[in-house]
Amino acid sequence: CSYCSEIEASKYLEKANHEFTQWTNRVIHANWNWLTNLTNENAEKKLAINLEFSKFLKCMWEETVKYPWSTYKNPDIKRQFKLMSVLGTDALPEDKLKKLDEIVSEMESLYGRATIPEYGDNNPNRNLSLEPDINDILDKSTDVNELKHVWVKWREATGKRVRPMYAEYVKLSNEAARLNNYTDTAEFWIRGYDVEDFRPRMERLWNQIKPLYLQIHAYVRRKLRDLYGDSVITRRGPIPAHLLGDMWAQSWERLDDFTRPYPTIDDVNPTSAMINQNYTPKKMFKVAEEFFTSLNLSAMPQTFWEKSILEKPNGRDLVCHASAWDFYDSNDFRIKQCTSVNFMDFITAHHEMGHIQYFIQYKDQPFIYREGANEGFHEAIGDTIALSVSTPKHLHKIGLLPKTSRTYEADINYLYKIGLDKIAFLPFGYLMDLWRWNVFKGITTEDQYNCDWWKLKYSYQGIEPPVTRSEKDFDPGSKYHIVGNVPYIRYFVSFIIQFQFHQALCEKAGQFDPKNPTSKPLHECDIYQSTKAGNAFKEMLKLGSSKPWFDAMELLTGQREMDAGPLLNYFNPLYEWLKNENKRTGEHIGWEPNKKICL
């Protein structure tokens, strides 16, 4: 109502928040049922309730925008109305919304069910899923032909098959963005970062980090050349994408045990200890939970243990990609993860539990505030905790590592292992949406989808495909977030701000001194059992999106913007070591074109 007072408006907000909560709980159930059991019946139920939900949202939106909220005095009421007055894709007419939902469901379902024939001519030739089968091969195999096989076959089974749907997804997505008064989906997706020059800021952050990336890239290229030979890996060319231990070459930690700087120093890999101690997926999550409770953060509610899916279920198709779910009833929170008993999945368990912890901490906020301060925050919570969990000191404390030597070499080995995950990830975390922003803006047109993708992979990651690609392929579609319509810059942001959070928490835990940053090296910090750090974290988490993210960040770190400084400070000893080592072995820093990448 256009004449309503602030008092009447706040009554409306209470009613609206309650109705949003009720409705969203039902929609989340339908989406959970489908993604964890990809039957046609569940797909139809999900599509049907999503359409009902969009009618409800449209109706609420029409009511919401009638209020003269920009004239109100109360900043909280204004903020709630501001956030509620964005309708999103539900602004599409019903037939187009249905089509968009169907396309994304079809792409996700195809991805979730994808398998590839195993390498070689075994009889019978098994069908392999990404998790755990193909990931196990990427972890253990050094057979370049087997690695090429899984790389090519996975793209045939996923990207190539979703390619025909993608252009219509882009078109409908952009129509929805325009109905929300955004020029395209790229602008719509980045609105939550609340800065005019967000994309140039990301480019600036990347340019700050690039020198560090170039050094680890040159070192890894040499170690892979030592292993696979000059015919496979050239001295000055890009690194072949199938040899980096990951389906998308996004994180290289699987290369650690045969590329680390000081190979004779004991390996920081607790997987064997986990197996010897009969760890189960549930035990992994229980150990993760205990880290959070040691900080005076919340334990998982009983329903979490009853309703989560922590292991790949038999006899049904599902999307295995790990995810955390808020059912918006302030009690039902779940993780879906096809967990294997290994260190990488143990770290992912902390990542997912970080989402749950955030859900729990802001569960009493009004509905519209129950999300991250910005999308990068949500991805950074668990990773921040994992920076403590991964330390040799902590792993030893929880019995997953024999006593470790605190020597310079052990430090460099540790920083290298973390760097294979965090540093290697940054160009990938950035280019995923660089490519999609170009697609949504029409800079990358349908006839260039794949070769533009490879231009970015070459330019930012310095990698090349094992076989020449063409526009018959659609390699972006081999990655879950592309088919699942999940924005990705959130992870690039997370990998930057998690070091700001880690540094601030370590300071609170008395394990870092900003006035003398090398006196207590940041990479040795473990905030385990520090309730001072935990309470500071909690104060930020409880806010949800009730304040602009600059205020939330300032509350914990004293900073009001994303800053690569803490990340560069954390890795500085490794950066110095890599520069010396690459100089010693005369490595070429950077890469030059090698073979034809994409026709």
Ligand X SMILES: C=C(C[SeH])C(=O)N1CCC[C@H]1C(=O)O
Site string for ligand X, 282-301 (x = CB under 6 A): --------------------
Is 237 in contact with 592 (CB distance < 8 Å)?
A: yes
Question: What is the DSSP code string of 299-332?
Answer: PPPHHHHHH-B-SPPSSS----S-EEEE-SSSS-
Q: How far is the CB of 379 from Zn ion (least distance, A)?
A: 5
Report the residue number, 151 or 577, with the smaller CB distance to ligand X. Answer: 151
Please, which residue, 428 or 454, has the CB nearer to ligand X?
428
Residue 371 sits in the site that holds Zn ion (CB under 5 A) = no
Q: Tell me if 148 contacts ligand X by CB under 6 A.
A: no
Q: How far is the CB of 348 from ligand X (least distance, A)?
A: 6
Cβ nearer to ligand X, comparing 147 with 335: 335
Half-sphere exposure of 541 (CA within 13 A, CB side): 26
Span interacting with Zn ion, options 275-283, 375-383, 476-484, 532-540, rule CB under 5 A:
375-383
Nearest distance from residue 376's CB to Zn ion, in Å?
A: 10
CB 363 to ligand X: min, Å: 19
Q: Does 260 bind ligand X (CB under 6 A)?
A: no
Is 311 part of the annotated catalytic residue set? no
Which residue, 343, 350, 352, is CA-closest to 294? 350
Q: Binding of ligand X at residue 351 (CB under 6 A)?
A: yes
Please give the Cα distance from 513 to 257 (Å, whole number).
32
Establish if 361 lies at the interface with ligand X (CB under 6 A).
Answer: no
**Residues 331-370 vs Zn ion: string with x where CB under 5 A?**
----------------------------------------
Output the DSSP codes for 552-583: HHHHHHS-SS--SHHHHHHHHHHHHHHHHHHH
User: In terms of DSSP H, where are the helices of 180-265?
Assistant: 185-189, 198-228, 256-259
461 binds, among ligand X, Zn ion, none (CB under 5 to 8 A by kind): none
Place of tokens 């990830």: 425
**Known catalytic residue at 481:** yes
Q: What DSSP assignment string belongs to 129-141?
A: -IIIIIHHHHHH-
If one asks whether residue 379 binds Zn ion (CB under 5 A), the answer comes out as yes
**Residue 158 binds which entry of Zn ion, ligand X, none, with Cβ cut-offs from 5 to 8 Å by kind?**
none
Which residue in 259, 323, 461, 557 binds ligand X (CB under 6 A)? 323
Q: CA-to-CA distance for 336 and 347, rounded, in angstroms? A: 15
The pattern of x and - marking residues 466 through 495 that bind ligand X according to CB under 6 A reads -------------------------x----
Give the one entry of ligand X, Zn ion, none that residue 323 binds, where binding means its C-beta sits below a cut-off of 5 to 8 angstroms depending on kind. ligand X
Q: How many helices (H) and strands (E) does the chain have?
A: 23, 6
130 is an interface residue for ligand X by CB under 6 A:
no
Give yes or no for a contact between 533 and 527, defined as CB atoms under 8 angstroms apart: yes
Torsions phi, psi of 335, nearest 5?
A: -120, 140
- Residues in the interface with ligand X (CB under 6 A) total 6
Q: 3-state SS of 43-94?
A: HHHHHHHHHHHHHHHHHHHHHHCCCCHHHCCCHHHHHHHHHHCCCHHHHCCH
The smaller minimum CB distance to Zn ion, of residues 118 and 379, is found at 379
Q: According to CB under 6 A, which residues from 419 to 458 bind ligand X?
A: none
Residue number with CB closer to ligand X (92 or 482): 482
By CB under 5 A, which span of 35-43, 57-65, 332-340, 371-379 interacts with Zn ion? 371-379
13 or 324: CB nearest ligand X: 324
| CB nearer ligand X, residue 216 or residue 353 | 353
Contact yes or no for 116/134 (Cβ under 8 A): yes
Considering only residues 135, 348, 390, 569, which one is a binding residue for ligand X as defined by CB under 6 A? 348
Q: Which of 342, 333, 383 is nearest to 361 (CA)?
A: 333
Give how far the C-alpha of residue 557 lies from the chain's centroid of Cα atoms, to the nearest Å. 22
List, in sequence order, every residue forming a beta bridge with 464; answer none if it has no partner: 240
Beta strand 463-464 with 239-240: parallel, antiparallel or unpaired?
Answer: parallel
Marked catalytic residue, from 481, 524, 554, 581: 481
In this chain, which of 27, 322, 395, 431 binds ligand X, going by CB under 6 A? 322
> Do 244 and 150 contact (CB within 8 A), yes or no?
no
User: Do 469 and 219 touch, CB atoms closer than 8 A?
Assistant: no
E strand or H helix at 495, and its extent? helix 489-508
Nearer to ligand X, 347 or 504 (CB): 347
Query: Which residue among 108, 352, 371, 379 is the active-site one?
Result: 352
State which amino acid sits at residue 62: E
State the number of binding residues for Zn ion (CB under 5 A).
1
**Residue (440 or 495) nearer to ligand X, CB:** 495
Binding residues (CB under 6 A) for ligand X: these are: 250, 322-323, 348, 351, 491
What positions carry a catalytic annotation? 352, 481
Binding residues (CB under 5 A) for Zn ion: these are: 379
